[in-house]
Amino acid sequence: MEFKEVVKARYATKEFSNRKVSENLMNELKEIIRLSASSSNVQPWRIKIVSDSKTKELLRPVSMDQKQITTCSHLLVFLADIALNKRIDSLEKLMVKSGSLPASAKSFNDNSRNAFGNLNTTRKISWASKQTYIALSNAINGAKSLGFDSCPMEGFSPKDYHRILKLPNNLIPTALVTVGYAVDKQRSKIRFSGKDVFI
C-alpha cells in the first residue's frame, strides 16, 4: 500500500477484537518504530509493550476506562527517556562500533550534551516527549501498513502507569498506542481544509 493510502486508511480504533497480532508482524512493527527519526538522532525513548491481560486490566481504570486498553492485542507505552547524557554516551559508543570516526562521535556527544543534556527536568521531558511522537506516528502508520489497526491515546494517568509498570525514574510515560484488529469501522475523516492549515 502506498504511504498516502496508509494515511487515509488509518483511524483511531475504538474497540478491538480479541485476535492477537502475530509475533512476526509485531517484530515488523517494532523495526518500523526503531528506525524512527529523532532530533540529532538521540532516540530519547523506550517503548514498554504490554500484552498480558492482567496488566491491561490494571491499566484500564487509570486510562479513563477506555475499551481499547483491554481489547487490544498489544499496548505500547511510549516513554520519554530523560537520562539524556546516558543515552548520548551509549550512542557515541554505538556510532564508533558502526564505523563513525571516534572524533566525530565525540563531537556528536559534546554537541548533544550541550544542546539537550543541560536542560532542566521540565524541558528535558518536553523535548524528549516531542521526539516520542515521531515514533508514535510511525507506530500508527506502521500498524496499518502491516494490515492491522491502532489507536493513539493520551487519556491516561502517567503517574499510575509509572507505578503499575514499575518504571525507573528516568522513563516518563507520554502516550499510548493500542494495536490489534478493529471491531469498529472507519468513519469519514474530519480535517481542516488546506487553507486552514497551510499559510
Q: Is the dihedral of CA 117, 123, 129, 131 positive or negative?
A: negative
The reply to whether 34 sits near a second copy by the rule CB under 8 A is yes
**Contact (Cβ atoms closer than 8 angstroms) between residue 9 and residue 186:** yes
Give the range of 13-21, 35-43, 55-63, 65-73 binding a second copy by CB under 8 A: 35-43
All residues at 6 or more sequence positions from 16 whose CB lies less than 8 Å from its CB, including other chains: 68, 71, 72, 73, 149, 178, 180, 181, 182, 183
Closest CB 60 distance from a second copy, rounded Å: 19
Closer of 25 and 70 to a second copy (Cβ): 25
Residue with cell 486508511: 9
Closest CB 19 distance from a second copy, rounded Å: 21
CA distance 25 to 155: 26
Please choose, from the candidates 29, 5, 24, 60, the residue with its C-alpha nearest in 3D space to the C-alpha of residue 140.
29
**Contact (Cβ atoms closer than 8 angstroms) between residue 75 and residue 29:** no
Closer of 3 and 121 to a second copy (Cβ): 3
Question: Which of 66, 129, 158, 161 lies at the binding interface for a second copy (CB under 8 A)?
Answer: 129
Amino acid 74 reads H
Give phi and psi for 174, each to the nearest 5.
Answer: -115, -35
Give the range of 13-21, 54-62, 65-73, 125-133 binding a second copy by CB under 8 A: 125-133
How many of the chain's residues bind a second copy (CB under 8 A)? Answer: 61
Q: Which of residues 157-176 bind a second copy (CB under 8 A)?
A: 174-175
Binding string, 76-115, against a second copy, x = CB under 8 A? ---x----------xx--xx--xxx---------------
CA distance 54 to 167: 17
Which residue ranges make up the site for a second copy (CB under 8 A)? 1-4, 6-8, 10, 12, 28, 30-37, 39, 41, 43, 45-49, 79, 90-91, 94-95, 98-100, 126, 129-131, 133-134, 136-138, 140-142, 145, 152, 154, 174-175, 188-192, 194, 196-199
